[in-house]
Amino acid sequence: MANVVTDVDRVDPYTLTPEGIKEPPVGWKASFKYLGPGLILSASIVGSGELIATTALGAEAGFALLWLVIFSTLVKVAVQVELARWTIATGQPAITGYNKVPPKVGRMGWVNVLWMLLALSKLLQLGGIIGGVAVAFSILFPFGGDPLSFSHLLVWTIVVAAFSIAMLYKNKYSLIERGAVFLVVVFSIVTVLIALGLPFTPFAYGGDDLASGLTFLIPAGALGAAIAMFGITGVGADEITFYTYWCVEKGYARWTGPNDGSEEWARRANGWIKVMYKDAAVSWVVYTFGTLAFYLMGAAVLNPQGLVPEGNGMITTLSRIYTDTLGQWSSILFLIGAIAVLGSTMWAAIPSWSRMYVNLLATMGVLDWQDSVARLRWIRIFTVALPIIWAVAYLTIQSPVIMVQIGGVMTGIFLVAAVIAVWYLRKTETDRRVYGSTLFNAALVVSSIAIALLGLYTLASVFGFSLA
């Protein structure tokens, strides 16, 4: 898959020229080697939301919210695809588009102002990710004393942050894609196999348990965790946003070329959009099965024992999923898997958030986004700064579950703004010749309404209003 992106690494994918045009492949077999952005997306999704928020929700609510797991992964895909369609047609990433949505506050569009609040909350969530990786390493490789003591966690947090910076500093798309694929494969296969094997253990679940989780009800006391899970699992507001950057850097927009109004351009654009459809579909399958696996393990293993992941003991509690199912030897397997799944989120998050921050600065006039040299310099600055900031946030709060859930609630709120931006850009800038089919447009409407209603419900809940 990586051998087709070497040209994209050498040229600026954000600059559309006639020289960059490439004919789109036809069919799944020909398209497969052009997939990739969705795998980076899966690396981000199959991580904090699944290992922490989804498993914690299963432990707290049992099977009752199984329906919400499925709904949360499915409902946002149409919005993700529509924003990526605009990106392929225009060559512009999401933050640039968000800034065009009126009204504006000075140079800043209101959506980007709200995005800045999302970014602040994500400092907590991503701090929780670095903390989770540090805890797993500390337990797996203790060097005397309590592996959960502050001194141990300080050492491992510094190691994790420094290693991440060193590995991702070059910011080459092909490297990021290969690493994402590896990390997704390592843990997803193991986790799904264990979830499918639970019916053959003392923590077996049956058809009645699954049916009880499809009643479309939210148990009392689980509302907060349910809202956070909806914001985090599946494609969240941040993933919808940064997916556009990876679609550009893979080459979809550059291969489509600048819109010269010709039918040839429309044909190429529709061809590469179909490749993006396939890319999004593969990623949806990956993260949906991963999400279901984590939730089922939390509901089947942790809930009957009254175990809910909390604080720095999160990793120890979650490891019970494995040790109580396979035996004590499997704790090592779990820790390696936890490092892989949380590490995959971090691997995708650092370069993704670096690009979004730099794009935001560009909309404020700090740099010219089309200046590839300046853009890469600023991206590298954030590649160094963000892991350090996230590490400090974790060491200050030291509660990965709460940190992740706070980010999840804000993600749910920002989804409403993202939906508004998607419809605005669709109406004002997306060439009508590349609109989706009638069936897709209907799915986009349903997806948008569902996200808007749940976003408004989140806002009401946060501010203490009852909608009952």
CB of 138 within 8 A of CB of 148? yes
Question: Could you read off the pLDDT of 397-456 as tens digits, one per residue?
Answer: 766 566 655 666 677 678 889 999 999 999 999 999 999 999 999 999 988 987 777 667
> If you average pLDDT over every residue of the chain, what do you get?
83
SS3 201: coil
Q: Give percent above pLDDT 70 in the chain.
A: 81
Domain assignment present for 468:
no
CB of 207 within 8 A of CB of 46? no
- Cα separation, 34 vs 282, whole angstroms: 12
DSSP string of 327-383, one letter each residue: -TTHHHHHHHHHHHHHHHHHHHHHHHHHHHHHHHHHHTTSS-TT-HHHHHHHHHHHH
CB of 445 within 8 A of CB of 435? no
| pLDDT given for residue 388 in this prediction | 95
Which of the four pLDDT bands, split at 50, 70 and 90, describes residue 98?
very high
Q: What is the mean pLDDT of residues 261-267?
A: 97
pLDDT surpasses 50 at 5:
no
Per-residue CA distances from 286 to 44, 181, 326 (Å): 11, 11, 24
Name beta bridge partners: 105: 108
| pLDDT given for residue 463 in this prediction | 59
pLDDT surpasses 60 at 48:
no
Which of 58-67, 355-364, 402-411 shows the lowest mean pLDDT across its residues? 402-411
User: What DSSP element (H or E) covers 437?
Assistant: none
pLDDT surpasses 80 at 281:
yes
| Token reading at 349 | 């998050």
Domain assignment present for 467:
no
Q: What is the mean pLDDT of residues 248-269?
A: 97
Which of 52-56, 116-120, 251-255, 345-349 shows the lowest mean pLDDT across its residues? 52-56
Q: What is the mean pLDDT of residues 371-398?
A: 92
Domain assignment present for 140:
yes
- Cα separation, 101 vs 78, whole angstroms: 20
Domain assignment present for 369:
yes
| pLDDT given for residue 127 in this prediction | 81
pLDDT surpasses 60 at 374:
yes
Domain assignment present for 291:
yes
Q: What is the mean pLDDT of residues 194-221?
A: 77
Phi and psi angles of residue 260, each rounded to the nearest 5 degrees, phi first = -100, 10
| pLDDT given for residue 322 in this prediction | 64
Which of the four pLDDT bands, split at 50, 70 and 90, describes residue 370?
very high
| pLDDT given for residue 7 in this prediction | 43
| pLDDT given for residue 132 in this prediction | 80
CB of 333 within 8 A of CB of 85? no
* Nearest partner of 50 among 448, 408, 450, 454, judged by Cα: 408
CATH of residue 192's domain is 1.20.1740.10
| pLDDT given for residue 228 in this prediction | 61
| Token reading at 255 | 């291969």
Domain assignment present for 239:
yes
| pLDDT given for residue 325 in this prediction | 66
* Nearest partner of 39 among 161, 166, 174, judged by Cα: 174
Q: What is the mean pLDDT of residues 344-361?
A: 92
Q: What is the mean pLDDT of residues 118-122?
A: 82
Q: What is the mean pLDDT of residues 109-137?
A: 85
Which of 111-125, 237-251, 321-335 has maximum average pLDDT? Answer: 237-251
CB of 118 within 8 A of CB of 411? yes
Q: Which residues lie closer than 8 Å to 132 by C-beta, 6 or more apart? A: 48, 51, 52, 314, 315, 338, 342, 400
- Cα separation, 79 vs 66, whole angstroms: 22
Structural domain boundaries, residue 317: 2-462
pLDDT surpasses 80 at 92:
yes
- Cα separation, 283 vs 394, whole angstroms: 29
Provide the domain count of the chain.
1
Which of the four pLDDT bands, split at 50, 70 and 90, describes residue 245?
very high
Which of 95-99, 169-173, 382-386 shows the lowest mean pLDDT across its residues? 169-173
Phi and psi angles of residue 110, each rounded to the nearest 5 degrees, phi first = -65, -30
Which of 58-62, 113-117, 385-389, 464-468 has maximum average pLDDT? Answer: 385-389
Which of the four pLDDT bands, split at 50, 70 and 90, describes residue 84?
very high
Q: What is the mean pLDDT of residues 294-316?
A: 73
Which of the four pLDDT bands, split at 50, 70 and 90, describes residue 26?
very high
pLDDT surpasses 80 at 12:
yes
